[in-house]
């Protein structure tokens, strides 16, 4: 791949001065590829964590205990109404200061790396929105469905897992698409705790090579592609899961 595009971009630079160094310099290319890999991992894991939190949180919100509901409600309001940037800083610097250090043979590394803190923090942030989304999806499932399940001797958890959730998931997919796309974009904030994802990597590249406009273009393209892929994937899922006669 690299040897294929390198001469082309080298010539582009020589002839027009457009310096896409990440496509013809081996070192910068490797940096770019690792930036993509870390960004994708960050997006994948934080989306996964946010979904898990969303499903569990929405389940707890259907519980009979007012205390549990209140706690989840408090969590949602806290994380929805504070800036994700400060949440990241708080998790990484505030709580990170208390996590134990691990002896790596000569030097010490925190047990939870900045990458892991980014996943945790972004996942918890996105999860707060997902709980609300799933909850409104669950509320939209007709009561009679759950009653029918109950009459078939499904337990509360079984009703939730096999009946309510699959239906609620379909109803909440459009809103979920929006939130996951916005979460994917928010992962660029991991820059502030120096996770070497795309924004951070390209920032280093343009600091080293003074080719800001070209790298900005690459950065824009990267996020536009990622966002389009996620949106397209979820729209495909929406179509695939559509039940005849259910929803729009």
**Rounded distance between C-alpha atoms, residue 86 and residue 186, angstroms:** 13
The encoded tokens of residue 22 equal 């990440």
**Rounded distance between C-alpha atoms, residue 221 and residue 170, angstroms:** 30
Q: What is the DSSP letter of 244?
A: T
Residues 60-79 that bind another protein (CB under 8 A): 66, 69-70, 73-74, 77-78
- Judged by CB under 8 A, the residue of 2, 27, 108, 220 near another protein is 220
Residue 83 binding another protein, by CB under 8 A: yes
Bridge partners, residue 102, by sequence:
109
Residue 108 binding another protein, by CB under 8 A: no
Residue located via tokens 């950065």: 219
The interface region with another protein, picked from 48-56, 107-115, 160-168, 210-218 by CB under 8 A, is: 210-218
Residue 241 binding another protein, by CB under 8 A: no
Our CB check for another protein shows the closer of 149 and 172 to be 172
- Judged by CB under 8 A, the residue of 46, 50, 61, 87 near another protein is 87
Residue 82 binding another protein, by CB under 8 A: yes
Q: How many CA atoms lie within 13 A of 225 on its CB side?
A: 10
Residue 27 binding another protein, by CB under 8 A: no
Residue 81 binding another protein, by CB under 8 A: yes
The encoded tokens of residue 239 equal 């179509």
**Rounded distance between C-alpha atoms, residue 24 and residue 9, angstroms:** 6
Q: What are phi and psi of 173, to 5 degrees?
A: -55, -45
Q: How far is the CB of 219 from another protein (least distance, A)?
A: 5
Q: What are phi and psi of 195, to 5 degrees?
A: -80, 125
Residue 101 binding another protein, by CB under 8 A: no
Q: How far is the CB of 183 from another protein (least distance, A)?
A: 11
Our CB check for another protein shows the closer of 169 and 179 to be 179
Taking the CA atoms of the chain, what radius of gyration do you get in angstroms? 22
Residue 44 binding another protein, by CB under 8 A: no
Residue 203 binding another protein, by CB under 8 A: yes
Contact 197, 38 (CB under 8 A): yes
Residue 140 binding another protein, by CB under 8 A: no
Contact 91, 115 (CB under 8 A): no
Q: Which residues bind another protein (CB under 8 A)?
A: 66, 69-70, 73-74, 77-78, 80-87, 89-90, 93-95, 97, 181, 185-189, 191-192, 199, 203, 212-213, 216, 219-220, 223-224, 227-228
């Amino acid at each position: 791949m690299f040897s294929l595009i390198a001469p082309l971009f080298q010539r582009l630079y020589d002839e027009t001065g457009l310096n896409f160094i990440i496509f013809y310099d081996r070192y910068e290319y490797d940096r770019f590829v690792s930036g993509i890999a870390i960004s994708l991992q960050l997006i994948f894991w934080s989306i996964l964590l946010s979904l898990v939190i969303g499903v569990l949180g929405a389940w707890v919100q259907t519980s009979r205990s007012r205390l549990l509901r209140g706690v989840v409600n408090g969590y949602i309001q806290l994380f929805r109404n504070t800036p994700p940037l400060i949440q990241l800083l708080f998790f990484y610097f505030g709580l990170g200061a208390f996590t134990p250090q691990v002896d790596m043979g000569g030097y010490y590394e925190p047990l939870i790396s900045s990458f892991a803190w980014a996943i945790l923090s972004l996942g918890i942030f996105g999860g707060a929105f997902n709980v609300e989304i799933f909850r409104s999806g669950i509320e939209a499932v007709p009561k009679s469905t759950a009653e029918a399940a109950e009459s078939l001797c499904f337990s509360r958890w079984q009703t939730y897992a096999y009946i309510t959730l699959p239906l609620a998931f379909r109803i909440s997919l459009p809103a979920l698409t929006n939130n996951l796309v916005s979460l994917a974009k928010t992962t660029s904030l991991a820059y502030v705790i120096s996770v070497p994802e795309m924004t951070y990597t390209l920032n280093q590249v343009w600091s080293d090579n003074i080719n800001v406009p070209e790298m900005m273009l690459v950065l824009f393209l990267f996020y536009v592609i990622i966002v389009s892929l996620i949106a397209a994937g979820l729209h495909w899922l929406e179509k695939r899961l559509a039940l005849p006669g259910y929803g729009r």
